Structure 1
């Protein structure tokens, strides 16, 4: 492999060619055959007290730590995840349970072969979990933000990564604390069949993600008041850290490829370095440290191992993220019926050849500026927006998004407020 020289304006250092090659090989490992594709769906849930509607935190009595401990009986002991003695994650075939920074409970489901498979796997997750929640007086709700709790009332869970994120994002971002402690999302992951197919899916996902976010918006409240933002999740993430959130730099340039993505990731300051899987680590600093160096400084002059690769990639939070699959990240937390509808739409648009080719043709010649303009239009004008010059009625039909939300989410005390 020949590693080209790059001239990204935001780079202060040069990526180590061995590191770049490591990431490119990792992306190559994700290539699937067109008849062997699947889905992954992640749904984050906001835990609240049944009697008060207030957020439930990790360490409080009858809190999220107790829920996870009780849930272990249904999961594989080999997949329990602890940090400094704190139980933070569980897993079994098809289902992983983890915690977001504010104690939000995330279930990762897949690999799913059909969108219809989502309901069955999610039902299994809730079958085990719901009696435990009832025991501790907890409900899970699916909104993009806590309905009746400020971020100031929520403590970060005991995880080194999240301590570092809080210190970093809290310092540089207007909504850093809000995003970490009180927000929740739905994410859908899809496979790719070649390098070009991966780039095409990154581009299309970035272009249409904000439009689908409008149709699936689900955030009635923000900081205990009516939400003033048409797309709160977008507002939070777009202004957190432009070097690692929002759009990928140069995505719509003609020569954009996996190497560009790798260099972008590797030359961005790492807000936390997880050295627990670096054999050369000598104990000269904490295993989890936050030096704000780039990967070339932090990691040895060799190919990176998979744990190091996963960690580095996980410190980027673009609208659409490349791993050894493509992760679409634009959407609020959704109740299961709406999450399944979203998955159906994604499946149709990205896996039906004629539909995807139609999207590629329609967006031929798209630029980063076009996408920024469309996102700003949605945020400024809401239902009256015309992203890419077309009405939202046009996009509902074009994206086959019929049956999605037509009006504002409405009052948080509507009948489905306490339904996950």
Structure 2
């Protein structure tokens, strides 16, 4: 199909990405997103619509988070206050997106206070929050979707696309960290290095002992889930590990992805056309660009910042430790230089092979031609050198896991 506006839309996407460039010396902030799963004390699922379900939870939270998001039917879908937004994922997983944070101390206080509030509300009705990468008891298809048309369309499309689309939507929960960049070159370098790190970060933050109501059959379950969700928009953006990758190529990736969901007349419409086809004859608005970019689910996602997405949901001390790790790795030129050396020559093929190895062998795997355990030691050492003494204390929970060659999922299994 001819796309007369294609180059204009590539240019518009590139301008959008470049609008996120921060001045040297002013960056260094972290955004943190944590998804958690609401269950009863016996681990059975809690839905959105039931009495004292997640809709009720949001209404209770609205006293402290007064900015509400309500759909056209009156369903409460999110609450917020300055710097903090609580939303819900397709099967009512609860997510706090907060920041950007100047300090890990501030991040720790915000997330600890949030979780304490949640747990106190839920305990009144025999419920609690689980911070794991996958639902501890339910099968994905047994979980009720929240009343959001976008998720109905995604469920329809992803259910037909590959085997684990519904599992990703309904059963999974993650921890995501967002980082700044100071130039196009800095953005592309950080993206490339983040991708090289993805398999190892998945190991360090592996916290999915259960899958579809049963003990997991291998390590890094969410890695497997994302591999079988939608090859058009997940995993590795083609070419992103190459040093000649460009923002234009990322823009092309966005335009060549089927939309699934597209804005229409103030609501949503279903479409299997690519964004390039939908906007073949018109230049995308900033709002349309933001939506198109949000419908990509790669391991490292570019917006006006970089989202690093492979980690499982974890308890708060580990979430802050993960934020400390990302800070130490990506906000130091010495760290970036060390990572360049450590991951020299990583290719798309070795990236996928690393995931295979780690799913089967964990810390005993060989990754990029080196023992995975030694690579994780190196990663921790690089981050530690870059962190202040205060920030280094927050890294300790993950350092202990790496030193012991174990994961939260391993500990839950034992």
* Alignment TM-score, normalising by the size of structure 2: 0.90
Q: Give the Cα–Cα distance (whole angstroms) in 1 for the partners of residues 83 and 93 of structure 2.
A: 20
Q: Secondary structure at the match of 2:46?
A: coil
* Mapping for residues 187-266 of structure 1, pairs under 5 Å: 187-266=176-255
Partner of 2:23: 33
The equivalent position to 1:390 in structure 2, one of 367, 370, 375, is 370
* Mapping for residues 20-419 of structure 1, pairs under 5 Å: 20-37=10-27, 38-50=29-41, 52-77=42-67, 79-276=68-265, 287-299=267-279, 301-400=281-380, 402-404=399-401, 406-407=405-406, 409-410=409-410, 412=412
Q: Secondary structure at the match of 2:272?
A: coil
1:88-132 per-residue CA deviation (whole Å, 9 max, x = no partner) reads: 011111211000101000001101112232211112323443332
Query: 1:160: how far off?
Result: 1.1
List gaps (5 residues or longer) in structure 2. 381-397
The 3 A distance-change label for structure 1 pair 167 and 34 is same
Moved segments of 4+, more than 4 Å: 11-15, 410-414
Query: 1:396: how far off?
Result: 2.3
Q: Give the Cα–Cα distance (whole angstroms) in 2 for the partners of residues 178 and 295 of structure 1.
A: 25
Q: Give the Cα–Cα distance (whole angstroms) in 2 for the partners of residues 215 and 123 of structure 1.
A: 22
List gaps (5 residues or longer) in structure 1. 1-10, 278-286, 415-420
Query: 1:85: how far off?
Result: 1.6
The 3 A distance-change label for structure 1 pair 276 and 27 is farther
* Alignment TM-score, normalising by the size of structure 1: 0.88
User: Is the 1:46–1:140 Cα contact (8 Å) retained in structure 2?
Assistant: yes
Q: Give the Cα–Cα distance (whole angstroms) in 1 for the partners of residues 16 and 83 of structure 2.
A: 22
Q: Secondary structure at the match of 2:104?
A: coil
Q: Which moved more, 1:238-247 or 1:131-140?
A: 131-140
Query: 1:370: how far off?
Result: 2.0
RMSD: 2.0
User: Is the 2:86–2:95 Cα contact (8 Å) retained in structure 1?
Assistant: yes
Q: Which moved more, 1:59-68 or 1:362-371?
A: 362-371
Q: Give the Cα–Cα distance (whole angstroms) in 1 for the partners of residues 59 and 80 of structure 2.
A: 13
The 3 A distance-change label for structure 1 pair 367 and 86 is same
The 3 A distance-change label for structure 1 pair 242 and 104 is same
Q: Give the Cα–Cα distance (whole angstroms) in 1 for the partners of residues 216 and 23 of structure 2.
A: 43
Query: 1:72: how far off?
Result: 1.1
